[in-house]
Amino acid sequence: MSIKRVSITSDYPLEGVLRENGKKAGVVICHPHPLYGGSMQSNVVDAIDNGFFEKGFTTLRFNFRGVGMSSGMYDEGEGEVKDVVASLAFLKENINEDAYVVLAGYSFGAWVASRAIAIADYVHALFLVSYPFAFYSTEELRRFRKDIYFIGGEHDDVSPIDSLLKFYKDLPVLEKSLRIVSTDHFYWGKEKEIEEFILDNIKIQHS
């Protein structure tokens, strides 16, 4: 097991952190909105990373274009989808060909992840924290038919609880899980609940 700072080739070089933990499963984690302080250093990204690592996954977090040491500039979600696809390809190079791949995202990162799966159709599952129902559509997400996991904040105005519950109820997938946390959009002090949800619900499977 090791932690490496890595460079990912998208339209621009992106900085990332790879935590190697075997080759049977991997996860790419997408951070919140770049224009509002979002980066791979987010407390929620940390929690997702820690939970999946403890579960046995190799984890890859990265900064979208224009964030931290990643080159380029914010592209309203279009270029960021390319960044996700490039990061998934990088992860695939570091795990087994038949490994179980999860794509995770928080807030803006959850929305970008939902758009990237149309391109990276080999992703086995989505793990989404506070999908931003108040600001973005769910068109791509509604077409996803594989395993999906949601976490929402009871007092989250970016991901309103009523929108999350309705969407979850209507979603026709094989396996889905949902955890509602007593928090707002930022999950301060609730990080362990995210980690516990991952440990309790994520299963390493193979297609």
Percent of the chain at pLDDT > 70 equals 99
List, for residues 144-190, the tens digit of each pLDDT value. Answer: 999 999 999 999 999 999 999 999 999 987 789 999 999 999 999 99
Q: What is the CATH number of the domain that holds 47?
A: 3.40.50.1820
Q: Is residue 101 part of a domain?
A: yes
Give me the number of domains the chain comprises: 1
Q: Is residue 7 part of a domain?
A: yes
Which token pair is 10? Answer: 């998208």
Cβ neighbours for 67, distance < 8 A, ≥ 6 positions apart:
31, 34, 38, 39, 40
Report how far residue 196's alpha carbon sits from residue 3's, in angstroms, rounded to the nearest whole number: 22
DSSP 173: -
Q: Is residue 207 part of a domain?
A: no
Q: Is residue 52 part of a domain?
A: yes
List, for residues 10-38, the tens digit of each pLDDT value. Answer: 999 999 999 999 999 999 999 999 999 99
Range of the domain at 58: 2-201
Q: Is residue 206 part of a domain?
A: no
CA atoms within 13 A on the CB side of 22: 13
Q: Is residue 190 part of a domain?
A: yes
Element (H, E) at 164: helix 161-170
Q: What is the mean pLDDT of residues 56-75?
A: 98
Report how far residue 25's alpha carbon sits from residue 29's, in angstroms, rounded to the nearest whole number: 14
Which token pair is 207? Answer: 């297609």
The structure's pTM equals: 0.97
Contact of 94 with 19, CB cutoff 8 Å? no
